Amino acid sequence: MNKTEKYNETIFENIKHINEFGEEYWDARELMPLLEYSKWENFHKVIKNAMLACENSNYSVAEHFPEVRKMIKIAKGAQRKVVDYELSRYACYLIVQNSNPKKESVALGQTYFAIQTRKQEITEKEYGKLSEDEKRFYQRNLTKKGNYSLNQAAKNAGVKNFDKFHNSGYKGLYNGETADDIAKRKGLRYREDILDNMGSDELIANLFRISQTEQKLKRENIKTENNANKAHYEVGKEVRNTIKRLGGTMPEELPTPKKSLKELEKERKKLQIEE
């Protein structure tokens, strides 16, 4: 990137693309020079770290980092096929979070993608007008963001076995049930995402568990895996007790929606194509 070029959000807007489904994306090889990386090998390491963060947050890596093959020009007019990625906004956010923060362009990118993601959130009044499925999509998006932040805090606390860590929280909230137990009770297929098969109220309960656990890990400066697991269980249990005290429905007693969010998303895309 030209050092004399003014740093502002337009540098990221200028390379944004829109695919045939009306979805925005950024080419990794176009984003690379804007973040002041001159070698693909170095930038690819950043992308791989961002993918790992995506996976640890229970996001679909294939959805946010779809790999593509493109032809580029090399010496004497020849061409060569190279790997590229069509990055979602969230993927770009993870990449700038894993880049060198000392670079001015990286700091700008962190602010830009965080603010733009925040702008996609809605007001309480708007939320009340949403259908149940729309509320599910909205709350699911918040849980994804929350799990990413929670995983970062857990990693800093020394957590290595993230399945055990997350199951500790589920056990507290669901009266001893693990993620697999919840999936079986809901009648889900193997490896099907349980959060994609929750109603908005159940997602809200889990979001509260996620956010409060992150705060507890940071506030108490927890630094061992066992204590982190214990903290997650305690928060989940406390959220459950709060629901009980308020006379609410226990999360395992809430109905499972007829369609998963992935099924609804496929139907949306199919409708867009037909239109």
Tens digit of pLDDT for each residue in 192-201? 999 999 999 9
Tell me the pLDDT band of 133, cut-offs 50, 70 and 90: very high
pLDDT at 261: 93
**pLDDT above 70 as % of the chain:** 89
What is the average pLDDT across 2-22? 67
Most confident of 18-27, 98-107, 177-186, 264-273: 177-186
Residue 275: pLDDT over 60: no
Mean pLDDT of 115-128: 64
* Confidence tier at 3 by pLDDT (50, 70, 90): very low
Between 134 and 112, the more confident residue is 134
pLDDT at 118 over 70: no
Confidence (pLDDT) at 124: 63
In tens, the pLDDT along 40-97 reads: 999 999 999 999 988 887 788 988 999 999 887 776 777 788 999 999 988 998 898 8
Phi first, then psi, for residue 251 (nearest 5°) are -55, -35
pLDDT given for residue 5 in this prediction: 43
- Average pLDDT, integer, range 116-143: 78
Residue (of 138, 24, 148) closest to 86 by Cα position: 24
pLDDT score of 116: 61
pLDDT at 46: 94
Pairwise CA distance, residues 203 & 197, whole Å? 9
- 222-250 average pLDDT score: 94
Which is higher by pLDDT, 14 or 126? Answer: 14
For the chain, give the mean pLDDT.
Answer: 87
The pLDDT assigned to 85 comes to 96
Q: Is the pLDDT of residue 7 over 70?
A: no
pLDDT band for position 103 (cuts 50, 70, 90): confident
Residue 104 has pLDDT above 80, yes or no: no
Q: What is the structure's pLDDT at 121?
A: 59
Tokens 């895309």, located at residue: 269
Q: What mean pLDDT is predicted for residues 157-170?
A: 97
Give the Å distances, CA to CA, from 180 to 174, 234, 250.
12, 20, 18
Q: What is the per-residue pLDDT across 194-221, written as a single tens digit (0 to 9) for each?
A: 999 999 999 999 999 998 999 899 989 9
